[in-house]
Structure formats: C-alpha cells, structure tokens
Structure 1
Amino acid sequence: MSDGSPSTPSIPLTRGEVPRDALVAWLNDYLNVGAYPDPSLNGLQIGGTNVIRRVAVSVDTSLKTLQHAADSGADLLIAHHGLFWGQPLAVTGPHRERLRAALSADLNLYVSHIPLDAHPEVGNNAMIARALTLQNLRPFGDWQGQKIGLAGELPFEQTLQDFADRVQKLTGEICLVHGGGQSPTVRRLGVLSGSGAGSVAEAATMGLDTLLTGEPEHKHFHDAFEYGVNVVYAGHYETEVFGVRALAARLEDEFGLAWQFLHHPTGL
C-alpha cells in the first residue's frame, strides 16, 4: 500500500548509464519543479537520446553552450536559463539555430530555473550560504509569495570591503559595492542569487545589514542608501554557477554519471 509519498523512479540500467525518462522523473521530483509558478519551462525542454551516460551543465542555454555540450559528447545538458520563458517563439533566427544544434546532436536539454535557486541542498543560494559558512539560516527573498533565498549570520563580523573581497575570491567576479548600511560592516546577511536587487526593503525589515545578490537595477539604486542596507553585487552569472555544478555532482553520486561544467561567463 502506498503511503502517499513520492516514489523514486526505477532506473534499471547499470551505474553510469541511466534511461533519460527515468532521470528526468528523478530530477523533477528531487527539484520539486511543480512547486513554483515559474515562467521558465522547467523540466525537459528538448528531447534527445533515450539513454544518458554523460552530462554537461551550464548557467545559460546559448548556441555556443549547446555546441560545446555536443562537442563534449554529452547526452544531456542541464541549464539554469533555458530556451522558453512563458510565451511561444517562432522557430526562426537564433532560436532556430539553437534548436537545430541540439536536435542535430540528439542532445537532451533539461532546465531548472527558480527550483534550482531555491533548492535547500543544491540550490544556488544554499551553496553560497554554505560557502560563506552562514549560521542560523532562515528563508529570505520573496518571489511570487515564496522565499527562494536565505538569510543568516556570518561567524564573525567583517568590514564591508573584506566581505566583498571574500565574495570576489568565491565567484571570481569583481563586486560592485553599495555601502548604504549604517556602518561599513557585515554580520547579518541576505543571499539571493541572480536578480535580487529588489529585496533591499525585505532585508531591512528582517534586520539584515547586507544583501548579496547578482546584478544591479537602476530603479533600486537608491534603496540601499534609503533603507540603510549594504548591497554587494557579485554578478548574475557568477552567483548562479553553484547550483548546476552541485546538481551535477549529486547525479554523479547517485547514478555514477560523468559530468562537465561549461563555463561561458557573461560578465553580468
């Protein structure tokens, strides 16, 4: 008798070789893709070969990324940003070329956008919080009524400059720093990867002194100074490399699948 809990799909092949549909079902369940009203088409966006032996992961799905995945011998590309965002697209121009590159290589494309930001184990925000050794973690970062980021406390107070230098070493990206806080120190931190510039007010309400996010937006420039919150912008791309890599490592542990991270930074 079933207890009502989700079941793990049967994966009958040998370790290092997984049926595509079983792996997609496992990913959908593990990432809880149905829990978020995400305009991205989370899940399998392009179907290819039926058996997965090698995985490539990337932040974006571009023509260059798809070609790189095909050239690397991948059967599956897992990306954070996919090809479909809630509206139909004509199969013309660059969109056609991206689809053609995947289809001609029989390459599967699986996408996890908001679910991979929010995931408690391999999500972008969870991985950043772990790398920064944040303590006393709690939900942060409202997205359509759900919290997809994390707030916590550093083990010790740091100057804002020292903290920005630490983030730069973590991401490899020179940070843009808006010192809007009441003091130039960091202890209580909110983490929201990608486009989190609009969460300054929430950070202030929660008593956080600093927000770490990806890219700035002009309309939120003054928020940091008016709400009294430091903001460290570490790059949209660079704050979202963590989830796909952690997910790929999880697939290696679970199924023995070989994987490769395709690094195509945007500088944004």
Structure 2
Amino acid sequence: MILTKDLEAYLTELLAPEKIKDFTPNGLQIQGSETITKIVTGVTASQALIERAIEEKAQAILVHHGYFWKNESYVIRGMKHKRIKSLLMNDINLFAYHLPLDIHPTLGNNAQLAAMFNIEQVAPLELGNSMSVAMQGSFSSAINGSDFATQLSQQLNRQCLHITPPSNKKITTIAWCSGGGQGYIEMAAEQGIDAFLTGEVSEQTTHIAHEMDIHFFAAGHHATERYGIKALGEHIAKTHNVEVIFIDIDNPV
C-alpha cells in the first residue's frame, strides 16, 4: 500500500514535470482514494481503460494521455462527463504524465524505443536542449530501410508506413520522436540524418521525405507510446509495495 500523496511526490521527483512546458497538466488530475494498493497503467485514460480499472478494483490509473488539454472545451459533459463521473464514483485517482514521460532518460517513450531497436549514441535532436522531445542516435551497422520497416512492424505489432527517399540509402543515423512528432522530420534532414521515426504522418511529410532525401517511418502513435508508461509502472511496482497492471487498450492509430 502507498498513500496517494506519497505516490504523487515520488512521481514528481522522478519525472520533474515542472521542468518542461506542456499542453496539459501533469500529475494527479482526478483525486480519488487516499490509499492505493493496485494501479492500472495504460496509454490513454479512455472509458475502456477506466472500466478495466474498475473491474480490477484499482485505486489509481496512471497514463500518458490524460485530460484537460490546452484549447479543449472547459465544459464537462458528454464523453468527458462519463469518464470523470466513473472515476469519482469509484474513488479512482487519475495520474497523467505527457511530455515528462516522453523525455525521461531511462523510462521515457523515446528511451524505450532506443533500447528496443538498439539505437546507440543517443542525444537530443534539438541541439543544446536537454529537454528535447525528439532524439537522435545511430546503429552499430547500416541497415536497409525496408528491413527496418519490417522490424518496426514486427516488434511494435503495427503495420509501419515507410516513405522511401529517392536515394534509398542505407540507414546509419536516425532521429525519432514518439507519438505525433512528424514535424521534426525537417530538423532531422537538415542535420544530415538518414531516417526519422515517429508515430503519425501528415500529408506534407511525404514531400519532405522525398525532397530532403530522408527515410520516414510512421509506426503508430499508440504503438510508439506504449512502452514508457509500461516501464514506469514496472518501476513503481519494484520500488513500492503496490500491485501494478499494464492494460493495453488496442488502438490502430
């Protein structure tokens, strides 16, 4: 068992949300039980995840995508009302960490992707910015773009989109940003990096990849952000006397 206030303090110290400007509040978003014996983790605080947490009799949900995003309506009705009502009626705490979880050097989404695909010499893509939400690194030996796309699809369990540049060069250097980071492709190309990996793709991304001669891989927003929250939950289970269950609510996007 852990006190909710103690878990919040630990997560604040671990993830340091005050150090990065975000689009949503990070930390305890919905207050519930004062004590926690079971935590459910997942990518997004959807109704489906909440219902699974209720079934598990969890006192807390810990996610990457929570509520109260910048520019969304302040009104609590419809879908938002149902979600929050479910949490309040079942006395479930909701913790959410967005960019702080993307960038954490060991538990973060970007760090987990680097470890999964054996990316070495990891450094910020935004030069001089230790809080960069996009990273860069290299492979120990060059890899074909098509082979890497296959590896992504197999390991992330999602069909990866691969935009091949005119040169179809082998990949030694790569930049990446979990989730919706397709806007960083130009920055990667300008630094002469061979490939860029993220979760989503935009219409203009194809033209940028072709005209700036850089491989582009979109492997799914959900799929590229599945592993940070899972790693965070496993870390909490090891460091605290609390049960943690990761529940992956399938999302093809």
TM-score (normalised: structure 1): 0.89
User: Which of residues 52, 68, 88 in structure 1 aligns to 2:36?
Assistant: 52
* Alpha-carbon contact 2:109-2:225 (below 8 Å) kept: yes
Query: Which structure 2 segments of 5+ residues have no match?
Result: none
Structure 1 residue 182 and structure 2 residue 167: aligned? yes
Q: Percent identity, aligned pairs only?
A: 27
User: Which of residues 78, 81, 101 in structure 2 aligns to 1:96?
Assistant: 81
Distance in 1 (CA, whole Å) between partners of 2:166 and 2:58 is 46
Distance in 2 (CA, whole Å) between partners of 1:123 and 1:139 is 13
Alignment of 1:186-205 (within 5 A): 186-205=171-190
Moved more, 232-241 or 56-65: 56-65
Distance in 1 (CA, whole Å) between partners of 2:225 and 2:66 is 13
SS in 2 for 1:148: coil
Structure 1 residue 118 and structure 2 residue 103: aligned? yes
Structure 1 residue 38 and structure 2 residue 22: aligned? yes
Amino acid at match of 2:89: S
Structure 1 residue 25 and structure 2 residue 3: aligned? no
Quote how far apart the aligned CAs of 1:182 are.
2.8
The 1:141–1:221 alpha-carbon spacing in structure 2 relative to 1, beyond 3 Å, is farther
Greater than 3 Å deviation, 4+ residue runs: none
Amino acid at match of 1:108: N
Quote how far apart the aligned CAs of 1:30 are.
0.6
Number of aligned pairs? 251
Structure 1 residue 244 and structure 2 residue 229: aligned? yes
TM-score (normalised: structure 2): 0.95
SS in 1 for 2:133: strand
Amino acid at match of 1:61: A
The 1:127–1:227 alpha-carbon spacing in structure 2 relative to 1, beyond 3 Å, is same
The 1:141–1:172 alpha-carbon spacing in structure 2 relative to 1, beyond 3 Å, is farther
Distance in 2 (CA, whole Å) between partners of 1:119 and 1:69 is 25
Amino acid at match of 1:44: L
Distance in 1 (CA, whole Å) between partners of 2:166 and 2:194 is 6
Aligned CA-pair RMSD: 1.6
